[in-house]
Amino acid sequence: MEGDLPHGRARRGAVSGRLSPEDAEEFIRTNTRLASPPHVPEIQLHLADEAHELWQRTEEELQQIGLPPPFWAFAWAGGQGLARYVLDHPESVRGKRVLDFATGSGLVAIAACRAGAGQVRAADTDPFSATACRLNMKANGVSFECTCADLVGTYVDCEVLLAGDVFYDRALAARVEPWFAKLAAQGVTVLVGDPGRAYLPKARMDELAVYSVPVTRALEDAEIRRTTVWRFS
C-alpha cells in the first residue's frame, strides 16, 4: 500500500460506469442505508455498513459491473472534519460560490448548502458519485450542481474550494497541490480536511481547526482519526 491509502482505497480516476443512472441508483440503494456520519450527525447520507462487502469485492468484479471504487459509500475522516468546520463556521461559505472537489457522497457540499453558501457545485470523476449526491441531496432537502469533469488544473468559478481527504496518493497530490496553490494565489479560499495523509503539503498550509473524528476501522485501522482543517496559503 503506497503512502497512507486507507484499506482498499485506490487512486481516483475518470472511469465510465457501465450501469445506467437508474441501475446505479438501485445499486446504491441496495448496498447502503441512510445514516448520519458520527461527526456530522445533522446530515444523513446513503452509507455502506462497516466492513461492508462493497470493499471486499475484487477489482475484476467491480470492473465487470462498471463500478469504480465506491468512495461515495463512506464518510471519510477528512470530509467529516471539513463538513464540521463549515457548519461550525458558516461565515466561511455564506453567500459565496463554493466548489466541493472530489465530493464522493456530497457530504461537504451538503454542509456548505446548510451553512448558507450562495452557490454550490460538487465535482467527482466517478459517475456513481453524482447519483449518490442526488440521493443525498433529497435526503437532506438541499440542491447543488454535480459534474464528473476532471477539473484539476482548470479555471474554476468559485470563491471557496473545499477538499476533503485528497492527499492520500502521491500521483493525485502531485496534480492537486500546484492547482490549489494557483487558485489560492488568485484569491480563492482553499480549505482542506485531512486526517494525516502521507502527501499533505503542510508547509504550504495554515491550520484552522483540529477534530477527533470517528472512522470505520475496516478501512482506516483505527476508530478515531485526528483530522485537521487547513487553509492553503
In three-state secondary structure terms, 153 is coil
**Predicted pLDDT of residue 18:** 59
Contacts for 32 with CB less than 8 Å, ≥ 6 apart: 46, 47, 48, 73
- Give the phi and the psi of residue 161 in degrees, each rounded to 5: -115, 130
Burial state string for 1-11 with b = 16 or more CB within 10 A and e = fewer than 16: eeebbbebbee
What is the pLDDT tens value at each position of the chain, 233 positions in all? 344 545 444 444 333 345 677 888 988 898 899 999 999 999 999 998 755 566 666 556 666 766 667 889 889 999 999 999 999 999 999 999 999 999 999 999 999 999 999 999 999 999 899 999 999 999 999 999 999 999 999 999 999 999 999 999 999 999 999 999 999 999 999 999 999 999 999 999 999 999 999 987 767 778 899 999 999 98
